[in-house]
Amino acid sequence: MSYVEVPGAKVPIRMWTDPASVEDAAMGQLRNVATLPWIKGLAVMPDVHFGKGATVGSVIAMRGAVCPAAVGVDIGCGMSAVKTSLTANDLPGDLSRLRSKIEQSIPVGRGMHEAPIDPSRFHGLATAGWEGFWERFGGVAEAVKFRQERATKQMGTLGGGNHFVEVCTDSTGSVWLMLHSGSRNIGKELAEHHIGVAQKLAHNQGLVDRDLAVFVADTPQMAAYRNDLFWAQEYAKYNRTLMMALLKDVVRKEFKKARPTFEQEISCHHNYVAEERYEGMDLLVTRKGAIRAGSGEYGIIPGSMGTGSYIVKGLGNEAAFNSASHGAGRRMSRNAAKRRFSTKDLEDQTRGVECRKDSGVVDEIPGAYKPIEKVIDQQRDLVEVVAKLKQVVCVKG
């Protein structure tokens, strides 16, 4: 579908979904965003749903300003995927050992490595820039400086919530590796620190929603936020790079006879800010639950833990600020999912997937998410499908 335009106070709201299907709370957030004095455009993805401050599944383009709550607290959260030389025929009938080995190699939830992982131990992993990255930690907000030791040990860890590591197969039988994670606790603490700073600034006192507090250009607060924001986005990128190296290492060891090789990795943020130019203006484009989908750019749009995911290529639609959805999108809250579904429902909806099926992940049940096929169909003018993947192993945080 092409977008539907809904009137907004400062800019029209371009929606790649039926406005009537969007929950009232999320629609209210979108209307609030459209009142911001600095806004130049607002695009809404088909996986849109209510979030903190700004909706998940929104692309906000502003001139000379950025809203930290519209980035989200997991700065740089995103996806990585790689196609392997393995095929479905190489996989054993019982995948529990493979899942166990992945869980032993990549800490999940609040877990961390006993000592920081040295990236140079992985053959073929580019290590240029890592040292300078950690040196720049000295320039981030004082409020998080004491967290450096934990941040180094959490590099290469999954986290919790909807983060996951998966082994998938595509329609040709090829095996893919895929993962979803972000900047771990250090990104969250940086985000919360700067949101607090923004909410106290004088120019934000008259906003319709205090969670939409912004930093404006040419101020020390904006400079400090941009520094920490881009550092945390880089942390998230390195975190996924290191996890993928750990995952490849497990696969090499478990499938030693097959001597697996790996194609070039696909990686994309879906909670981040980018400096981009549209209609002759330099804008700060915030994607919260959205990926960049410039012409020919590869992206990843995952479904829930039992339905599969898509590798896509962007079509470069500037009406959407070269963006696409970041996933299926929730259709109910975590608490609502826990009330509605049981572990039996989880077992039924994840049949054929080697994964946790206990009460701790019921809130991630496929039924709590929108149908991924419909989400993909609603953005045919944003991306083209390259491959459809179906998970056979899913490790949840």
Distance (Å, rounded) from C-alpha 66 to C-alpha 225? Answer: 9
The answer to whether 309 is annotated as binding is yes
The pLDDT tens digits for 81-140 are 999 999 999 999 999 999 999 999 999 999 999 999 999 888 778 777 888 899 999 999
Distance (Å, rounded) from C-alpha 204 to C-alpha 84? Answer: 49
The answer to whether 344 is annotated as binding is no
The pLDDT value given to residue 124 = 79
Distance (Å, rounded) from C-alpha 52 to C-alpha 188? Answer: 13
Outline where DSSP puts E strands in 138-246: 164-170, 174-181, 215-216
Q: Record the tokens describing residue 57, joined without a space.
A: 């599944």
User: 54 pLDDT exceeds 90?
Assistant: no
| 268-276 average pLDDT score | 97
The pLDDT value given to residue 270 = 96
The answer to whether 335 is annotated as binding is no
The answer to whether 113 is annotated as binding is no
The pLDDT tens digits for 351-371 are 999 999 999 999 999 999 999
3-state secondary structure of 71: coil
| 199-203 average pLDDT score | 96
Distance (Å, rounded) from C-alpha 272 to C-alpha 323? Answer: 12
- Average pLDDT of every residue of the chain: 95
Distance (Å, rounded) from C-alpha 208 to C-alpha 287? Answer: 21
The answer to whether 94 is annotated as binding is no
CATH of range 4-331+369-396; options 3.90.1860.10, 3.90.1150.10, 3.40.1030.10, 3.40.50.300: 3.90.1860.10
Q: What percent of the chain has pLDDT over 90?
A: 90
Q: Is the dihedral of CA 257, 261, 265, 266 positive or negative?
A: negative
Distance of CA 145 to the CA centre of its chain: 25
The pLDDT tens digits for 203-245 are 999 999 999 999 999 999 999 999 999 999 999 999 999 999 9
Catalytic residue (choose from 193, 194, 269, 326): 326
Known catalytic membership, residue 193: no
3-state secondary structure of 340: helix
The pLDDT value given to residue 130 = 82
The answer to whether 165 is annotated as binding is yes
The pLDDT value given to residue 261 = 97
Q: Record the tokens describing residue 188, joined without a space.
A: 């969250």
User: 1 pLDDT exceeds 70?
Assistant: no
| 158-177 average pLDDT score | 96
The pLDDT value given to residue 165 = 97
Q: Residues, the chain, total?
A: 397
Residue type, 29: Q
Which residues, at least 6 apart from 222, have a Cβ–Cβ distance to it below 8 Å? 65, 66, 215, 216
